[in-house]
Amino acid sequence: MASHEDATVVDKTIELFKYPELHHSMNTHQKIVVTDARTSTTTEPFVQELKQANINSLVVIPIVLFDQHVGSLLLRAARFEGNFSPREVSFFEIVAEAASNALERAQLFESIQVANERLERLAITDGLTGLYNHRHFRDHLQKEFERASRYRLPLACMIFDVDDFKKLNDTYGHLTGDLVLKEIAERTLKCVRKSDLIARYGGEEFVVIMPQTGREGAAVEGERIRAIVSDSPFREVPDEHRVTISCGVSILEHDVMLNAEDLLRAADQSLYQAKRNGKNQVVVAPEKGSK
C-alpha cells in the first residue's frame, strides 16, 4: 500500500484476511456492494472493527485484464448519513475500467518492447554459434576504427579459422562440423575480454575486435584462443582427431591504415601466412610504416 497524499504510507502490509468482502469479490469475480456493514453476512467476522471505524457501507469492484481478475477497487465509507449512491458506484466502475485499460496498455507496451529486443538480438546474432553475425561485426569495426583514429588509440583485429575444416566435414559429417563450430564459439567466449567483440565472420571463420590493444597484447590473446581450441579434444570428435585453428592478427597503424578495410585486410593476409607456415599458429602482421 502507498499513498500520494501521505509520504509515510509506503510499503505498508495489508492483512487481507480482514477484508472478507475483497475475498468474496475475488472468488465470485463480481462487484460487491454492502449498504449496511453492520448487518451484512459478508462483513460479519469483522463487524466490531468496522463499527469502531464508523464504516457503514463499502463497495468492491474487480479490475479485469484479459478476462483475468488482476486487482480490485475497494472503498469503505465512514459517513453519518447515507450509503454509496448508484451514481457513485457507477463512477467507481468507470475508474476500475480505466485502471484495467491502463494496465492493458502497459502490458501490451511491455510485450512489444520484449519482442522488439528479441528481434534486434536475432538481427545481429549468428543462428548457429550464438555469436554476433557478420553485419554487426562490420558495424562495430567501423565504429571502433573511427574512435581509435580520432583519439589515436590502439586497436587490433584478429581473424581465425578451423584448419582442414572441409576434411573434418567430409570425415564426420556436416552436423559434427556445426557442433565443432559451436564449441569453438563457447571456448573462445571464455577467454576473450568483456571489451572485445567476437563474431562469426562466415563459414568456419571467426573474427575478434580488440579495442585498446597493441601488438603484444593482441599476440597474447591470439595465442590464448589458439591454445584453448587445440589443447583439448572436442565432444563430438574422436580424441585422435585434433582440431586446430590458424590466427591472423593486425594492429592499427595510424596514418598508414586509412579505413577499417585496411585493418581487416592485414588480418586476413596474416591468416593466410599462418596457413602457409603450417597452420595451428598465430601470425601478427608486420608494421607497414612508422606511426
Sheet holding 68-77, edge to edge: 32-34, 57-65, 68-77
Assign 110 to helix, strand or coil.
helix
Residues catalogued as catalytic: 204
Strands 57-65, 245-251: pairing is unpaired
CA distances from 245 to 96, 224, 291 (A): 64, 12, 31
Beta strands in the chain (DSSP E): 32-34, 57-65, 68-77, 155-162, 197-202, 205-211, 245-251, 282-284
Taking the C-alpha atoms of residue 161 and residue 247, their distance in angstroms, rounded to an integer, is: 7
Give the residue from 49, 43, 102 showing the smallest Cα distance to 71.
102
Taking the C-alpha atoms of residue 273 and residue 291, their distance in angstroms, rounded to an integer, is: 24
Taking the C-alpha atoms of residue 239 and residue 141, their distance in angstroms, rounded to an integer, is: 37
